[in-house]
A and B are shown apart, each in its own frame.
Chain A
Amino acid sequence: KAGVTQTPRYLIKTRGQQVTLSCSPISGHRSVSWYQQTPGQGLQFLFEYFSETQRNKGNFPGRFSGRQFSNSRSEMNVSTLELGDSALYLCASSLSSGTYQETQYFGPGTRLLVL
C-alpha cells in the first residue's frame, strides 16, 4: 500500500505570494492533518480534516487555510507569504475509524522557502 504522498517536494516563493501544497493520504485513510516544522518552533499542528470538514485547528493566523476533497486528498494554502513561513510542511493521515486515537503516518514533506 502506498504511503502518504506530498507535492511538490520543494518550493521557492517570494514574500506576498501565495502557495498551495497537496497531500494524498494512505488509501482508506479519512483523516488528514498538517504540521509545520521550523528550527525555532519545532513541529506544530496546523489543522485536521475529516470528511471534507475541518475538525481541529492549531494556533496559526487566518493566512493558513486548507480543504479536503471527497477522495480524502487535502490541500493547504498560505496567502500573503512571509519570510517566517519558510518551513517544512508535513502531512499525516490516519484511518479515523472511530473516536479512538490511532497511529498517524507522515508524508515526506514539502520544503517551502520564502525569499
Chain B
Amino acid sequence: GIQVEQSPPDLILQEGANSTLRCNFSDSVNNLQWFHQNPWGQLINLFYIPSGTKQNGRLSATTVATERYSLLYISSSQTTDSGVYFCAVGSGSARQLTFGSGTQLTVLP
C-alpha cells in the first residue's frame, strides 16, 4: 500500500517563528488532507489539497503531486498551534486515508 512519511517528527519553536512541515508519499494520490489533532484527540481539518496551493490565515499548504510531497507552512506561530499535525492521503475511489506518523509541534511562549 501507499507509504506516507512526515518530517520532522518533533519541532520546538519560539512564539512568532515560522515553520515548515513536510509530507512525502510513495504513489499518486487524489486526496491529501492536513489535520491538527487537538489535545482531546479530535482531528481538525486544515486543508484538503491533493494538488496546488491554498492559504488560510497564518497557515498555507502546497502539494506537488508529480513529485509526491506536500508542505504545510505555519507563520508567526502561536502557543495554540501546539499539537500533532498529520498528513493523510487517499488514492482511487476508496475513502480510505493512509496517515503519516505526524509532527509534534511545541510552540514556547
A residues lining the B interface (CB < 8 Å):
31, 33, 35, 37, 42-45, 48, 50, 55-56, 58, 88, 90, 92, 94, 96, 99-109, 111
Contacts and interface: CB of A to CB of B under 8 A. Distances in A.
Interface in B74-101: 86, 88, 90, 93-99, 101
Contact of A108 (B33, B42, B93): B42
A96 B95 contact: yes
Contacts, number: 67
Contacts of B96: 33, 45, 48, 56, 58
Interface of B: 30-31, 33, 35, 40-43, 45, 48, 50, 86, 88, 90, 93-99, 101-102
- The A contact surface, by secondary structure, is strand
Contact of A106 (B42, B93, B101): B42
Contacts of A58: 96
A101 B45 contact: no
Contact of B101 (A42, A45, A103): A42
